[in-house]
């Protein structure tokens, strides 16, 4: 009986970390949003600077997940955000921070690996400061 209780508790704990609650956006859908004439969401890459420089979603901005809490003021709360990392762990952390602070967040389905697997365009460049309307970097 104690072993069963431990198993149930372990399953509950794992399920709480199993995935993000955010609505997901497919890579092709995000690509269409970025190419449309209507305002596109902010694409937020929460990986490291080196990962970003090696390749990222076009128009993405970089705020590493461990800097996000301190840099929330750079983001426009009126603009939707699509967040991604390599596999989903860091984007889930970032999503929690963003939602807790009132941002509308969606996660890139499959994250960076999903974008790459879809064969969609990739940019390679070092990050530049995030330009927020009404603010200077």
Question: What are the structural domains, with CATH classification, of the chain?
Answer: 20-117 (3.40.250.10)
What is the pLDDT confidence band of residue 38, given thresholds at 50, 70 and 90?
confident
Global pTM reads 0.79
Span 12-29, average pLDDT: 65
Q: Which residues are catalytic?
A: 85
- What's the chain's average pLDDT? 85
| Helix residue ranges per DSSP H, the chain | 2-17, 27-35, 49-54, 89-100, 111-117
Residue with the two structure tokens 């969609």: 120
The single-letter DSSP state of residue 84 is: E
């Amino acid at each position: 009986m104690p072993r069963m209780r431990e198993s149930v508790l372990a399953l509950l704990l794992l399920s709480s970390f199993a995935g993000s609650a955010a609505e997901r956006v497919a890579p092709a859908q995000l690509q269409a949003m970025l190419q449309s004439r209507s305002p596109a969401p902010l694409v937020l890459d929460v990986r490291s600077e080196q990962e970003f420089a090696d390749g990222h979603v076009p128009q993405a901005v970089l705020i590493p997940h461990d800097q996000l809490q301190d840099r929330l003021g750079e983001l426009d709360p009126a603009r939707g955000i699509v967040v991604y990392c390599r596999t989903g762990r860091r984007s889930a952390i970032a999503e929690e921070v963003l939602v807790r602070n009132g941002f509308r967040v969606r996660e890139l389905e499959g994250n960076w690996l999903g974008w790459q697997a879809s064969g969609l365009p990739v940019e390679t460049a070092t990050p530049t400061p995030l330009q927020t309307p009404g603010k200077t970097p």
